[in-house]
Amino acid sequence: MTNRRDAERRIHALRDAINHHNYRYYALDDPEVPDSEYDRLLQELRALEREFPGLVTPDSPTQRVGAAPLREFGEIRHEVPMLSLDNAFSEEEVRAFDRRVRERLEENGEIEYMAEPKLDGLAISLVYERGVFMRGVTRGDGSTGEDVTQNVRTISSIPLRLMGKGFPMLLEVRGEVYMPREGFEALNQRAAQRNEKTFANPRNAAAGSLRQLDARITAERPLEFFAYGCGKVSAAALPQRHSAVLAHLRAWGLRINSENRAVRGAEGCLGYYRDMAAKRTALPYQIDGVVYKVDRVDLQQKLGFVARAPRWAVAHKFPAEEAMTVLRAVEFQVGRTGALTPVARLQPVFVGGATVSNATLHNMDEVERKDVRVGDTVMVRRAGDVIPEVAGVVLAKRPRDAKRVHLPHKCPVCGSEVVRPEGGAVARCTGGLYCAAQRKELIRHFASRRALDIEGLGEKLVDQLVKAGLVATVADIFTLTVPQLAGLERMGEKSALNLVAAIEKARHTALPRFLYALGIREVGEATAETLARHFGTLQALMAADENVLQQVPDVGPVVAAAVAAFFREPHNREVISAVRKAGVHWPEQSGTRLPGAGPLSGRSFVLTGTLSGMTREAAGERIRTLGGKVSGSVSKKTDFLVAGSEPGSKLAAAQKLGVTILDERAFLDLLQE
């Protein structure tokens, strides 16, 4: 075709057709022609523009290939600042955001929001004049960004000329440039084949691609774009709802996320969040949360801004962010209950907004299930302020000398035996009375009301005693003196005298209380009562092995193993001996080796509500003394429910099962009988 006028007409027709097909493909996700036909039109246009270079315009679809490299990016000031968003990490924070919006607007009803996916990409400003793309600027610091116009031109989903009619003379569109998952994986694969550096994640890949000084490199990268709003707009009025603004942008050829949804109130927002969290991994792009925006523009204007964020929008972040790093070692920490937690020592990695060098492996079950080994490359996940965790292993990167992780046989803190029940996930130190890691927790439990009931020995005082080195084991409680205690913070002589008197009183106790006070795993008040009644003496209980323990009513293999392991540990025996030498005693009794004998033998009781004549603990102790059994929940085996004032849900459960219900008066009469 040699006639310039005919060529010009054909070029315009081709550009219109190509722009139309771009709109159908990117904005509507509904292509009308196959890729081969699109390619044919583009090839014809390129041929004509080569023949008539004077007809080439900046907004031609052929001008996406990139221009010559720049020395550096110019800086451009945003006429309307590109503000960041405040973050919410929990449902409570979202409800608080909604409450603040309603309070500031003095609205009692539900607020209408536009909910949108929060793409993990790079924020960008696109300026159109008379419908023609003129400039692309990164967010930068919110006030000033980098001029990446040449690079933006290479992104196919960004129209170089707007479609339709009615757009403002000046229109600033704001949105996110991102790299789809599939494109990211292909890009990294090509880089690995060429022994080039790979990108850590799609966001880094998108940012790095858009900030290439050579736009021809950007043109080769699989970048995409979604519009999410507007900045500066000339006099022509836009709709007064954000959702309608997005609809207009879509009609003008800009790509809008199909997952956007109008919702009402906090619960509508949270419902959208849960839906997006469920489909997050199936999306073709990476998102790190969702965004809620007040839909009405007049309400946005009324709410205004605070610091560098709008009051009318919030980003609800997903809980997890991940990165890869190398596992250097695994150490075991001992918790206050004796549980051993494997902790990963990592090559430091930046993830979730912080540098992480340690992460939890939870327990040995998880270590074995994930097959974590020292030397492995692992995925580290960090969720807000939650402790980072090792989410999995990158098996493809496992070195030949990777070492398996083994559970230690001895506690790394006190050297006591470590026990892991068969089939159990959690391993524990058995030196509960001796282990420094468990010291504070055990002392607080030992002195608690249902144990030895040492009034005044609370959490803060226990912390002081341990920190001052006055109490290393529970036996040391009985050596405390008034001068020692009076010198502690917020004690004084009177408080010290009262505590010493409470300690003296605690020397006289009962075997069930003492057993419960020892803090043996799986041994609560009822089990302590059963063991005391069955064996009669502490010596007999300490001498019992697992087989003997399992002959006790209501004691199964798990409880038997925990009790046997506790008394098998020499450290625990030493502390018990020291406590006895300190004068702690109780009435000795002969063991029955039978279920509890007495007038209430074989009867099962459940207590609920508040009793006026005695505490529920005292009532339970009285029932057990008379041979009865006290349970924490109602079942078909329950004989009596004792209901005090303000009973809980147990009353309804008992009525449904036909259990005999006793009020306090009837219960006392039964005890008298």
- 136 and 285: one domain? yes
Tell me, what CATH number does 43's domain have? 1.10.287.610
- Return the pLDDT at 54: 85
Output the pTM of the full model.
0.47
Are 218 and 137 contained in the same domain? yes
Residue 81 lies in a domain: no
Please tell me the predicted confidence (pLDDT) of residue 595. 43
Give the pLDDT confidence score for residue 597 in this predicted structure.
Answer: 57
Residues 228 and 143 in one domain: yes
In a domain, 443, yes or no: yes
Quick one: pLDDT at residue 332?
A: 95
- Does 317 participate in catalysis according to the annotation? no
Query: What b/e readout covers 475-493, taking b as 16+ CB neighbours within 10 angstroms?
Result: bbbbebebebbbebeebee
Strand-pair category, 660-662 with 640-643: parallel
Written as six digits, the tokens of 403 are 């070492």
491/462 Cα distance (integer angstroms):
12
User: 128: which strand partners?
Assistant: 133, 171
Q: Which residues pair with 137 in a beta bridge?
A: 125, 147
Q: Does 625 fall in a domain?
A: yes
- Domain boundary at 286, 317, 348, which? 317
pLDDT score for 593: 42
pLDDT of residue 47: 82
The identity of residue 424, as a single letter, is G
Q: What is the DSSP letter of 509?
A: -
**Cα distance from N-terminal residue to C-terminal residue, the chain:** 116
Q: How many domains does the chain have?
A: 5
Based on the fold, state whether residues 163 and 238 are members of the same structural domain.
yes
Q: Is 412 within the bounds of a domain?
A: no
Residue 415 lies in a domain: no
Name the β-bridge partners of 258: none
Q: What is the DSSP letter of 294?
A: E
Last residue of a domain, one of 300, 317, 334: 317
416, part of any domain: no
> What whole-number distance in Å separates Cα of residue 255 and Cα of residue 117?
14
Do residues 86 and 293 touch, judged by C-beta distance below 8 A?
no
413, part of any domain: no
Residues 220 and 339 in one domain: no
Residues of the chain falling short of pLDDT 70: 1-2, 25-31, 33-36, 39, 63-71, 200, 236, 307, 319-321, 352-353, 383-386, 589-597
Could you give the C-alpha distances from 499 to 97, 239, 444, 455, 517, in angstroms and in order? Answer: 48, 73, 14, 7, 18
Q: How far is CA 175 from each of CA 276, 397, 580, 606, rounded to the nearest angstrom?
A: 19, 36, 73, 62
What range defines the domain where residue 455 resides?
Answer: 436-581
Contact 417, 430 (CB under 8 A): yes
Q: Please give the pLDDT value at position 148.
A: 92
Tell me, yes or no, whether 136 lies in a domain: yes
Could you report the per-residue pLDDT of 451-495, keeping only the tens digit for each?
Answer: 999 999 998 999 999 999 999 999 999 999 999 999 898 888 999
Q: Are residues 215 and 286 in the same domain?
A: yes
563 shares a domain with 513: yes
Domain boundary among 317, 352, 385: 317
Pair of tokens at residue 71: 């020395």
Say whether both 99 and 42 belong to one domain: no
154 and 29 assigned to the same domain:
no
Residues 509 and 623 reside in one and the same domain: no
Backbone torsions φ then ψ of 17, nearest 5 degrees: -65, -45
Strand ranges of the sheet holding 170-178, from the earlier edge strand across to the other edge: 132-138, 122-129, 170-178, 224-233
**How deeply is 417 buried, as exposed, middle or buried, from its count of CB atoms within 10 A (0-12, 13-18, 19+)?**
middle
614: CATH: 3.40.50.10190
Please say whether the dihedral angle defined by the alpha carbons of residues 96, 100, 102 and 103, taken in this order, is positive or negative.
positive
**Spatial distance between the Cα atoms of 323 and 381, rounded to a whole number of angstroms:** 7
